Structure 1
């Protein structure tokens, strides 16, 4: 497979729900990012779930890492990466990145790990450098990692949110010299932490124009993150636009801008069928949604909204799409990974 990336994350904990690496949509995915392994402040790696990684019986192998390596023999187009960190395992990154010796230890440990498990590279999921000092150290970490993982044989990617309040801490033009892709986490714009409900992964403000009819919470958009990256020297073909394979729901809310009581989330594979079949798409925002008697306003991506985002990727010359997670997708015509793949490679008419 060449051209656009269509990258999926595989969290090892999904094996406990009966979802094996072989259950991913491998024919339409280009990269699998294995999530997660943790890191210590001295740069050594630490398992977050050693049983799932190396021992559980899955796909005829011992552990998900061996199962993933096995898949590369039957899907030679596939490139696999180890994702280090994650939202609950990023606390060690600031001290690690600030220490030259720890950075060297980390880079060597990553090289040994990917070689042992027949992987193609590393994804840094430090969520996230919180000030310019940490952003500076982040660049040193990427540079040191690249010395041990030379391209194009090895890949280095990172996952970052689309907000300028994070991206401004990093010299993006310099980061691009070390990175193959920036996985832009183009979701979680709204949730339990916001004051009103809104689309969680919209490309543009709702309703067209600047969305000024809606509260500021509802006007945050992912296109602004793409614009920020491009205007600060990050190449478009290295940006992957993130797709959430889960919903955020807002009980008591009927739409964007409405108050709610107790928001939650649900994986796309666990949706009631009617959420998908009855999904509406705000084509101004590139966002899908539905109303549920119990869950209220439900914000997610549907195949139609993903195809619209894929066209956006083509139009802007971006590198492709990524999905958190490929293990939360639905099969068949409701697959988001499939919708993205077809949208990237088939020049259909706007729906």
Structure 2
């Protein structure tokens, strides 16, 4: 395998049960093997993607002092701007070569959540920035729900098992800017090798390459989706919930060749998080004599707090 497997969401949405089951089988095997797929026929259209990238590039082009008006370390970077080099991979101290923004959940008033989410910060310089970001957020959230429904069936759960946990969940849309590299990086890369914290991550096409996935045999391979595909991977929460049946694969964003250092990179992942009160206790469907329970019981909120501290966003 020299690239990640590709699946078509229209198969799962089809009234043809054979096509639907084929999708479940293919995505399930891919997530047990490499933890990544590319997905076509999702709910995010090309025009919205273009609008979002235009707004994101305009924001990151603002002067640094203007961007820092939207940075609030008191909320562990969960909304607004996070400046260059603040985040690092778990187990590392060298900051990644990136800056980013966070759009977060705007839950309905009747959502009955056990927590209160921070408000999204409004960028006054860009009147369309927030509306465009939240439109993309909703389309990615909708896509993610269907992917989780397929995975629920693969695991042996009721199809809508995840729906109530991710509805109003603490999901994050993160536009990232990797600026041009000016001087020789001292061991730093655009994003160090890591696994994601959440249930699943959806990544729309980055402006340049660089994303690599660690294969079972220890080889790094480039993740190269088609232009209209999303890259979707398993996060640590889902790996833990499924007792390692579904794999949260280590991945990274490598620096480009030196002749391309002057080229910035933009990337926009959507991190699908559940509500904080969701138990991540290993599912009984994934525990047996050959696969004993590998993790202690914990909630999604507790796990998130631990990991935010490990990557430098929370004290």
TM-score interval (norm. to shorter): under 0.3
- Structure ranking higher in strand proportion: 1
With CA pairs under 8 Å and 6+ residues apart, which has the higher RCO, 1 or 2?
2
| TM-score normalised by the chain length of structure 1 | 0.23
| TM-score normalised by the chain length of structure 2 | 0.25
- Structure ranking higher in helix proportion: 1
